Chain A
């Protein structure tokens, strides 16, 4: 698909996500304008509602793929290539148009199927995200694979159980914080900011971290 069209879809998506024009302006590098939106309408990706452009289901479907590529690419730049966040945004923005479906999926696996981008914005789920097993080793390790006395930063928490997530968050165990493994058996003992928690294996398997 044409880059301009993809950018236009992206902008509409972000607008629906709650971004205002002031925030969108710097992102709009291709100066997308009314003409592009009308083009989207022609192709059936968007429609006009109450004087605003909104995505159709078809447009939203494409949009979710674009956003997914974009935000997974952000992970790639911020955690592996470790560029400054300003540049990583820009780089990701380019990459988003050329990533193949397969490459996207592999990034998703590498990062443990993250639900949010490094800035906390949601990443639409992909086909790979439901499945657990894969031969590809994630670049991010589950906490479970760390050795005693190793330290790591929590990158994503791939747990569906709401209760566990709630408890982890209230302990302050959220993406971005650093933890240290004190013990692996009989259960995991992890230390964070001077507090020690015991975490059973089942949970440690689903917390994805990056060694520090």
Chain B
């Protein structure tokens, strides 16, 4: 869904700039300004979970800019935070641009102190200047700049204010002048270790800071540098330190810094009494997480979403595109052209036949799914940028706990509605391995991605609303049930819920536009080619009569267990490629009049629960390992069929 690292001509790069900062402070907005690229910007912590690279505008590919996942401290806890720490260690940047939320400078200063330990030349950006002002916070940036000896720039990134100054200040970056010391015991241990290391290593003090907390890369560096005997000695020193400290080492390290931060800030921040209050957002804020009204609000949001995506997108737009534009104009026109061309009939059929590139792949991809995902991404983008999701996570925490997850897991699950593959990567922000596995599993099992939901909505919107509700209920019920069972079976540390809630914000039109465009680009680049590939495979299987044989082979399952016509096997075969493509297969059957309402519901539930798409499968392997990926798939296929069977039985007893 995103433009990952681009092929870089490394020999040209003269300078590396890394953007770091707390989560949700506007790093990605600034990255977009500096490079002219677009990476996703949303109003919740943990939007960026991988690194993104681009070139500084106007530098002619000489200056590399890197956007990183937000971190609270360099003593990283979650996987996404570790990505940032490893990039700082491995890329060894020439300049670090530390982006701070001007409303809460203290949090950024924890990072500033840590960066100072590494002696990185730094620029400090005070972003969200507009919001700070409204809260009556004044910062004397000149004083701060001379106090720290580094450039300090005020910005309002979303309006592009201060960006020019930032461009110019990069040259002037220097190592912050901060003088402070840790608890005596820690300073003593550092001294002892330095003595053992003898000749200083690069960025020594920073490396030792990480080492004390048990961080792996720094440990590895020291291990490679030292004789085994010496390395064992410093491990022992760390162990002994752990024993005499009243609190865990990382807690002491961070607390020590935090206590010193206040002293510096006292002279530069002024808080005026008068604080501007926005009555509307304050009211909404209470409303959204109210233990009762919060659910009413959620229902309202879902209703609007259904109206916008299901009725407008999947109903009106699809109808228009499929029946009018493709049905009346484009396809007849293309068929005519192919008929005029002197081509063998096989080739003609390949493009415009029953399983034709134009008549099937592109018609499905562009006429049926496209309108739905456009409307979905617009609505989703607005929700993301408003800051509703962290509030929803808060509201649903108690509920999620019952399935062994914390409210934090709401975010990746919601993102799964956009794209399960991307959402699986976002599980990096979760605290425990157990949570990661369960969420990965549930995403693969039953969270329908936008494209798939598109087909399903398009299918159902013509039938009945109750059919859609039954589908939605069946899927939610299964997610909860499997989640609950998984949390009982999978062993692991208990999860806990402690998360920052960003302020509610009015979504910016421009960001929604860019974000939707970026996501549509992903769709066109990644999904449509698979549709074409799949159609080509179907075409070949049809011509070689393999398709007919497969239909017979799957007949016991498809017909006897699920009660569907044997042609439905095609839908499932297509489902191995992508679930949305599989759903599209059923669309065809329905148009041919082969499915009644009950059969439609059974097939939709089964295909939704069906095996994750290939891209998702590959990401599961990458993030969780091959074994987990295989186990998940082995469970899912029979389970999907089993649930389809149950639904069939129920619908036979109580038809809709």
Residues of A within 8 A of B (CB): 17-19, 115-116, 120-123, 161-172, 174-176, 183, 185-187, 189, 193-200, 202-203
Contact = CB atoms under 8 A, between A and B. Distances in A.
Contacts of A123: 246
B413 interface: no
Interface band, chain B: 35 or more
B395 interface: yes
A181 B259 CA distance: 22
Nearest to A204: B498
Contacts of A121: 246
B499 A115 contact: no
B286 interface: yes
Residue among B183, B244, B397, B496 having the largest count of chain A Cβ atoms under 10 Å:
B496
A140 B107 CA distance: 26
21 contacts: A115-B247, A116-B246, A163-B496, A166-B77, A169-B254, A170-B72, A171-B72, A185-B291, A186-B289, A186-B291, A186-B294, A189-B289, A193-B106, A194-B135, A198-B394, A198-B397, A198-B407, A199-B497, A200-B397, A200-B496, A200-B497
A17 B185 CA distance: 8
B72 A198 contact: no
Given A172-B106, A186-B394, A200-B498, A166 B135 contact: no
Given A18-B184, A172-B106, A187-B394, A197 B499 contact: yes
A200 B393 CA distance: 12
B323 interface: no
B110 interface: yes
A172 B107 contact: yes
B251 A186 contact: no
Given A18-B184, A166-B75, A186-B397, A174 B255 contact: yes
Interface string B231-244: 00000000000001
A20 to B, nearest CB: 9
Contacts of A202: 496
B555 interface: no
A13 to B, nearest CB: 12
Contacts of B103: 194-195
A198 B259 CA distance: 23
A139 B497 CA distance: 27
Residue among A161, A176, A186 having the largest count of chain B Cβ atoms under 10 Å:
A186
Residue among A115, A166, A203 having the largest count of chain B Cβ atoms under 10 Å:
A166
A164 to B, nearest CB: 6
B295 to A, nearest CB: 10
- Across the A-B interface, the 9 shortest Cβ-Cβ residue pairs: A122-B246, A170-B72, A169-B254, A200-B497, A170-B73, A198-B394, A196-B501, A194-B103, A174-B255
B500 A195 contact: yes
B511 interface: no
Contacts of A162: 248, 250-251
A46 B254 CA distance: 36
B445 to A, nearest CB: 26
B339 interface: no
Interface string B206-235: 000000000000000000000000000000
Contact of B501 (A169, A174, A197, A203): A197
B301 interface: no
A194 B102 CA distance: 10
Contact of B498 (A115, A176, A193, A199): A199
